[in-house]
Chains A and B, each alone.
Chain A
């Protein structure tokens, strides 16, 4: 299957700083990428949908100014957590699919810990 690479796999940052997470589709062009957040023992919660070259669509309750998403090319989307706080500590996962694929391919996930 197709490969989606997410980087970094884990990061620890100080409260108030910003963290950027990258999501790359390695062997296919992803017109749409999705960003999820998962708290321990909970399900994946969709945060936003990003399309190459356009603004991301955020789900209700997700602050667009705090979680900046950029989908600069057909193979790269980034999520920046700005002014991170301990409550932002979570597992962030991206997924990508093309119009031709029924399957959504997931990145490895990024575990963010804000101290």
Chain B
């Protein structure tokens, strides 16, 4: 089966650091994606982890522990424009294809 859990909402202050956690139970797991989605828009790619450890890309970092079924997205030096939904998605090989299964998303509100 496939199940992905992440917090529904989070708030943070401009300039601060925020960590968004994601746990997953995925059959045929291949990797873990993080996407950013602003209201009414399509998701945009942030990161992809396939091996355990931390991947850093500018203000955004993502961590994966395959043994624990756990990932987090770390956002540093928060800006107002970072207010968006952050989607955790696991890639699973199922039915002959690699598919992305999305979590419900975490709505992040950044305030001054």
For B29-68 the 0/1 string (1 means CB < 8 A from A) is: 0010100000011111100101000000000000000000
Number of A-B contacts (CB under 8 A): 54
Among B63-112, those with CB < 8 Å from A are 87, 95-105, 107
The answer to whether B100 and A46 have CB atoms under 8 Å apart is: yes
Known: A103-B33, A108-B42. 12 other contacts (CB 8 A): A34-B100, A36-B102, A41-B107, A44-B43, A46-B99, A49-B97, A57-B96, A93-B42, A95-B100, A97-B98, A104-B45, A106-B44
Residues of chain A whose beta carbon lies under 8 Å from any beta carbon of chain B: 1, 6, 32, 34, 36, 41-46, 49, 51, 57, 91, 93, 95, 97, 102-109, 111
Residues of chain B whose beta carbon lies under 8 Å from any beta carbon of chain A: 31, 33, 40-45, 48, 50, 87, 95-105, 107
Sample 13 A-B pairs with CB under 8 A, ordered by A number: A34-B99, A36-B102, A44-B43, A46-B102, A57-B97, A91-B40, A93-B43, A97-B98, A105-B45, A106-B43, A108-B41, A108-B42, A109-B42
